[in-house]
Amino acid sequence: MVLLSASVCGLRRLLKICEGYAVSHGLRYNVTKSQYMVFEARNSKLSNVPPVSLNGALLDRVQSFKYLGHIVTADLKDDADMERERRALCVRANMLARRFARCSRDVKITLFKAYCTSLYTCGLWANYTQRSYNALRVQYNNAFRAVVGLPRYCSASGMFAGARTACFHASMRMRAAALVRRVRASSNTVLAMIADRLDCPYITHCCDRHVRTGVG
């Protein structure tokens, strides 16, 4: 579970509630697996942060942690998570290329669509460098070449068009659009508030990405 608070004082109060709930229900939190993170504001690094404890034990402060498979960092950048997905994509593509080398082209394309186009949590990426983005794009293209058995330097746009398969940019747009639709259709009041704000950074980012990659 994750607790979010705008202050250390508020976080301590939330932890006290959790401790009381655990005691009343015969539960116990694993302190060794519990950590806390301070999100940086405008590139300011806070060094003197009051200690945070759980069940009397001080928690370690970390700069990144993995939550439900997604890497969250203190600077709120997505480069680390994009690198995680790039590595995972490489592993999946090599596995498919090795195990299904003798299958037909149609089977290989179907396997690629099923295992390599999901780009796990890519809809959440909003703050990353062009270098990380390009590295993942190149890996995506190379993954398709490896699975289908195409030459390394063949045209990326041509091979995806010929296989009727979404290219990297199209996959990113579809995942982002799907998340935006889910947020806007949600009955959750917090998500509805985010979706209704015209100045929401994430919604603006998704719309800008559609425009930038969808024309020209």
Domain spans in the chain, listed from the N-terminal domain onward: 8-62, 79-214
Cα–Cα distance measured from residue 19 to residue 22, given in angstroms and rounded to the nearest whole number: 5
Q: What is the Cα gyration radius of the chain?
A: 21
pLDDT exceeds 50 at position 187: yes
- Phi, then psi, of 129 in degrees rounded to 5: -90, 155
Query: Could you report the per-residue pLDDT of 131-186, keeping only the tens digit for each?
Result: 999 999 999 999 999 999 999 888 888 999 999 999 999 998 888 888 888 888 88
Report pTM: 0.83
Question: Which phi and psi (to 5°) does residue 130 adopt?
Answer: -65, -30
Residue 86 has pLDDT above 90, yes or no: yes
- Tokens of residue 65, six digits: 């942690």
pLDDT given at position 216: 36
Cβ 85 vs Cβ 120: under 8 Å = yes
Range in 13-22, 124-133, 142-151, 191-200 with the lowest mean pLDDT: 191-200
Half-sphere exposure of 122 (CA within 13 A, CB side): 28
